[in-house]
Structure 1
Amino acid sequence: MSRTLILIGLGIVVVGLLWPWLSKLPLGRLPGDLLIRREHITLYIPVTTMVLISAILSLLVWLFHR
């Protein structure tokens, strides 16, 4: 359990350090991300972004478990 928490903490630190470059990626603005604007509500559903992130995380987990 402690090893997992350490790895999660290190992952958060790495993402924090890389944030200036990661924020320039077009995540959240990809084709297939849904944006519905109505009179009193805005609904944003990042379908394509979540599929891409899921595929990347699945690949990383697969690589680390080998």
Structure 2
Amino acid sequence: MNQNLGKYLIIGGLILIVVGSLVYFLCDKLNWLGKLPGDIRYENGNTKIYFPVATMILLSLLLNLVLYLIKRFF
């Protein structure tokens, strides 16, 4: 096995721990996440459909930035 794979797994695990901790401790401050203008929400009686388009674009941009920085410095 390649030693770089182990390094990437450790870095990925640390990133997951940091993001999980932020979400756990800041959940009351992140209530805007999922309610961005551009998220599609449809409610009719018992039917609820939710497409978080803007939220997924924002998370995708942030994840790409993090991966770019990791790739550049490691």
Equivalent position of 1:8 in the other structure: 12
**Secondary structure at 1:14 match in 2:** helix
Counterpart-to-counterpart distance in 2, 1:46 and 1:32: 8
Aligned-pair identity (%)? 42
Give the alignment's TM-score, normalised by structure 1. Answer: 0.80
Work out which structure has the larger RCO, using CA pairs closer than 8 Å and 6 or more positions apart in sequence. Answer: 1
Q: How many residues align?
A: 65
Pick aligned residue for 1:65 from 37, 46, 71: 71
**Secondary structure at 2:42 match in 1:** strand
Equivalent position of 1:18 in the other structure: 22
Give the alignment's TM-score, normalised by structure 2. Answer: 0.73
Q: Any unmatched runs of 5+ in structure 2?
A: none
Q: Any unmatched runs of 5+ in structure 1?
A: none
- The letter for the 2-side match of 1:61 is L
- The letter for the 2-side match of 1:47 is V
Counterpart-to-counterpart distance in 2, 1:12 and 1:56: 14
Q: Rg larger in 1 or in 2?
A: 2
